[in-house]
Structures are given as structure tokens and as C-alpha cells.
Amino acid sequence: MTTRPWTLVTAGLLMVALTGCLPCGVLPGQAQRAPTAAPFVTSPTMAPQSSNASLAVPSQEQWLISLYKRANPAVVNIRVTKRAEGVLRFQPEQEQPPDEYVSGQGSGFLIDREGHIVTNNHVAEGAEEVLVVFSDGDQARGTVVGLDPDSDLAVIKVDHLPATDILPLELGDSEQVQVGQIAVAIGNPFGLQGTLTTGIVSAVGRTLPLGRQSQTAGGSRFSIPRMIQTDAAINPGNSGGPLLDSQGRVIGINTAINAIQGVNSGVGFAVPSALISRVVPELIKHGHYSYPWLGISGRDVNPDIVKAMNLAERRGALIIEVTKGSPADRAGLRGASRSVTVRDAQLDIGGDIITAIDGTPVRQFDDLLVYLIEKTTVGQRVRLSILRDGQPQTVELTLVERPQD
């Protein structure tokens, strides 16, 4: 299995490289909705063949200028002081704090008129001091009111808002986002406040292992499902800033890049607004978010597994490991029971294969992840359709809160 350097993009803090493994906690169904209206963009093939064709560029420029003027005042620069851990980088313009502390920065945006700022967990986590700098230069002290490492979301509340009237950014619907639509990022790459970059949504439905490390299920990371991929330039310091649609609505929070050296390579990732709208109100109210938990790790069924287990079904989620004492364990679900060698590599097989949850098909492990996060709550009873030794069975269990260790 190859690894990918999913890199969190906070400037001034240690870059974290994560392996691109399959999701191993559990969290994901993919409802299809009507697409959003197409963003303003002039197709070269449709441009009029006259001197008026030159008007298309100024029109699009004016659209971006207007969007920036509306949205930028709500985007902030977040500067934090944390206790030092390992080797960290400092921004040249920053005065180095005492040896036991380090400085870092990221981006964020105003979500309401009460002064709540949404950003990434990896920006705010461990912060002992938070300074929020608005686009007009006003500075406010911030307090971290909620953290969720499993969605990489955090909420900071400022002690005051600038005298100028700032409109909070509106959340869009990430489930309506389509590949090819315009994407606009605003943030503070390398500390350069109020930077706008543009591109397109280059993919949707990505699942990245950016959550906290699990102490169970093999020590793998919980994954964030349905992330939005974009080629809009995202660099260190953009973390926590908004990814906007053509109407200036937040469709995601810029969080990670796929890069070896920690700089933009045209592949950035944003936590979707559907997850933001679910998690952030709980962070404001309770300071944390409770995830429903099944207690398994697994992988997609592939042709090698189909052949090794002599399966009739060619899709599903194979359970590799069941966490002791979890709902899955109490319900009697089974993990892999043996290994076989396939092309000089060990392949774990023999576990139960989940084919549906509450009647919703599970074609791959991500489908289970998405359904649990978006469709269930702690304490809810769910019904799993499984294949055990090639025979269909139904298992019911009650979800509990994901462990906090």
C-alpha cells in the first residue's frame, strides 16, 4: 500500500504527514440533490466573435472583485501561542516567544454576529493565547470554545467585533457541489492576510485520514468523509479559511494539501459545509461533538478478496478488526480470521462483510462511514445486512459515543 503525505496547512506550526490508509474508525450515504446554479463563467467556445468579446473578462473580474469585497471582511487571521513540542517553524515577521512556547497562525471566518469564528482544530488545539486580526486591522482576543479533532473543526469566540459592520459568511450546501464549478479560497497563506485564490472543484467525496489517532482498532486514524478537492491554491496559513462557491457561500473549510514539501501542488482539500453545519452548533453549545460509534476497522471488498473468500457479492465493506467491548463486539460481528498471500503481500480475509445499513447499500467502506456520520446519532439502533461465510444475515446493534481516548 502506498502512502500519501496529506499535510495540514497551518503556517508557523509543525507540518504533519499522514499516511493515506483506509478509514479505520467508523463514520458516511450519498444523497443526490438538485445541482446548484452554474457559477458565472464565460465559455471560450461561446464567446461572441466581435469586439464585444473583450467585455467577458472585465465582467468576470468584477464578479470576483464584488465577491471579495463581500466575503473578505469576515475572514480573519488567527495567531496562536502554544507550548513547544518538537521542531517548529517561525514566521520571519514574528518575534520569537520564550523557548517553551511557539507561535503559529491560520485562518478562520465569522459564522454569526455573536463573534464565533470557525477554523481548523489543528490551528486552535493547544492554544494558550489566541489573537484574531480582522481585515481592517482591528485585533481581538479569542477564546477557544470548542474543538473536534475528528472533523478538524474548532470554534473561537472573540471578545469584540470591529466597529465596521461585518456580515457573517453563509454556509452553502456541499451536497450540491459539482466537479467543475468555480471555487474561491480566501485566507492568509504564509501570513499574507486577505489573499484570494481561484480554481475549480476538482473532485468531491474524498475521504482522508485526518482525524485523531484511535487507541483501538489497530491505532489507525478516524477519517473525514466527503471532503471537497480543489485546485485553488492552498498553502500553509490557509488552514481554517473558507472555500466559497460563486455566490460567496461557504462550501468547505480549507484543511489539507497533498504535497511532499508542504506547499501547494494543485491538490487541496476542504472539510465540507454539511459537516460544518452539523458539528459547529454542538461545539458552540457543548464544546465537543459526539460521534456515533460502531467499533470496527475494515476495507473495501476487491477482486482479490472476492476470489480468496469465494464471494458471490463483489461490493461491500469487509470487517478486519472488531474493537473489544464495542457495539460491534457485543453484537457478535466478526473480524478477519486468517491471512492469505496475494502477489507477495498478506491479505486479511474471513471477516463479516457489511452490504447494507438500515437498508442503504454499502458498496464500499466509505458508504458506511458517511451513513454513520450523516444519518445516525448516539443511542440510535441500526440494522446491518452482512455476509458471513457467504450466507446473508441481519445484525442489530445500538450505537454509542466514540471513545475520547
Q: Annotated catalytic sites, by residue?
A: 122, 152, 239
* Cβ–Cβ < 8 Å for 41, 60: yes
State the cell numbers at 379. 443511542
Which stretches does DSSP call E strand in 23-100? 75-83
Longest dimension (CA), the chain: 73
Residues 6+ apart with CB under 8 A from 267: 202, 229, 231, 257, 258, 259
Which stretches does DSSP call E strand in 74-134? 75-83, 101-110, 116-119, 127-133
Report which DSSP code applies to 74. G
Report which DSSP code applies to 171. B
> What is the rounded distance in angstroms from the CA atom of residue 375 to the CA atom of residue 27?
10
From the CA atom positions of the chain, what is the Rg in Å? 23
Which candidate, 174, 151, 118, 277, places its Cα nearest to that of 225?
151
Residue count of the chain: 405
- Cα distances (Å, whole numbers) of residue 125 to 225, 243, 261: 21, 21, 23
Match 472476492 to its residue by C-alpha cell.
306
State the cell numbers at 174. 456541499
Report which DSSP code applies to 44. G
> What is the rounded distance in angstroms from the CA atom of residue 212 to the CA atom of residue 223?
8
End-to-end Cα separation, the chain, in angstroms: 27
* Cβ–Cβ < 8 Å for 309, 265: no
* Cβ–Cβ < 8 Å for 288, 155: no
